[in-house]
Amino acid sequence: MPSSAMSSNVEKETYSFYDTYTVDSDIDIKLPRTKIQFKKLDNGFAYFREDSEQNTIEKSIPSMKSIQVTIAPVLPINLPAKKTNGLIFLRLDKQILVTPESNVEISIKVPIEIGIFIKSELSADMLDVITCEPMHSRFGLYGVPDGGNLCMYSKVSQIYDKYPEPYVWAKMRITIKNELKQGVKIGKFVFPITAHKVYYKQKSTEVHIDDLTARVYSDISGENMELMKTVFETAGEDWQVSDAGTDSSASFVMDKGFD
């Protein structure tokens, strides 16, 4: 692995950047709380991964001389299993008070997973997917037990200045529009994360997910909050798209509370 591809200080360790690497011999990929190795064999490569909970996986990759390996952030929908129809439940560690008939913009942490891809001229096939924070691999229920929505679940906080912890979090901006004539407290967001794209910078650890607009309104059923994707404006910067999601137009109405 090229020495220029190694940087970033997390927990006083040096980890691998998001990038594509040409692998033609034994290498180690360094990620927080995760050990990854590629070993060169006579007829290809062996892949080994061990996570922080000592779970291991081994795979073989037939190849003549070398392989192209891409490390990139992906949507947090794969672990522990795909059972949520793409919904994610983000619980804020502190509620937000939005005054009557006003708009506010915040930035929050959003969990990510990391994909290991084998790249060819025609495609990039996912070899493995990992999380560097096992607490993100949890489910939550929005609504009542017999009719609620099963979601991926994570407790998150606002971002005020620095980028969140690399390899664990991405950044997302949320615009909250309160159409009510009274203030509201917002403590959670539930929405289809599969509508969003994941953006990252090569030879870096910066990750951003498409933004979100949350509209608070009332109808005959009571107070609701509708959440819709807002495309992340890259402003001409060198962002790569690693995960394009599966549903570009989905929205979700939180009609079972959002405080």
pLDDT digit string, tens, across residues 48-77: 999 877 889 999 999 778 899 999 999 998
What pLDDT is attached to residue 236?
A: 66
Are 229 and 102 within 8 A, CB to CB? no
Cβ neighbors of 42 (< 8 A, separation 6 or more) are none
What's the pLDDT tens digit per position in 129-187?
Answer: 998 887 777 899 998 888 888 999 999 999 987 777 889 999 999 999 999 999 999 99
Q: How many residues does the chain have?
A: 259
Task: Compute CA 14 distance to the chain's CA centroid, rounded to the nearest angstrom.
Answer: 21
Residue tagged 């929050």 (tokens) = 108
* pLDDT single digits (tens) 187-204: 999 999 999 999 998 888
125 strand-pairing partners: 118
**In the 8-state DSSP scheme, what is residue 194?**
G
Longest dimension (CA), the chain: 71
Whole-Å CA distances, 27 to 21, 47, 136, 192: 10, 10, 28, 37
pLDDT at 246 over 70: no
Q: What pLDDT score was predicted for residue 26?
A: 92
Q: What backbone torsions phi and psi does residue 210 show, to the nearest 5 degrees?
A: -45, 145
> Residue 57 pairs with which residues in a beta bridge?
49
- Among 12-16, 90-94, 119-123, 142-146, whose mean pLDDT is lowest? 12-16
Q: Tokens representing 37? A: 């190795």
Give me the long-range contacts of 141-144 (CB less than 8 A, separation at least 24).
141/89, 142/87, 142/89, 142/188, 142/190, 142/254, 142/256, 143/256, 144/256
pLDDT at residue 235, as a whole number: 62
Q: What is the pLDDT, as a whole number, of residue 204?
A: 81
pLDDT higher than 80, residue 248: no
Given pLDDT bands bounded at 50, 70 and 90, which one contains residue 82? Answer: confident
Q: In this predicted model, what pLDDT tens digit does every residue of 205-240 receive, in sequence order?
A: 889 999 999 999 999 888 999 999 999 987 667 888
Query: Rounded to two decimals, what is the model's pTM?
Result: 0.86
Please choose, from the candidates 216, 200, 217, the residue with its C-alpha nearest in 3D space to the C-alpha of residue 208: 200
DSSP strand pairing (87-98 vs 67-74): unpaired
pLDDT tens digits for 15-52? 788 988 899 999 998 888 899 999 999 889 999 999 87
Looking only at the bridges linking them, the beta strands covering 87-98 and 149-156 are parallel
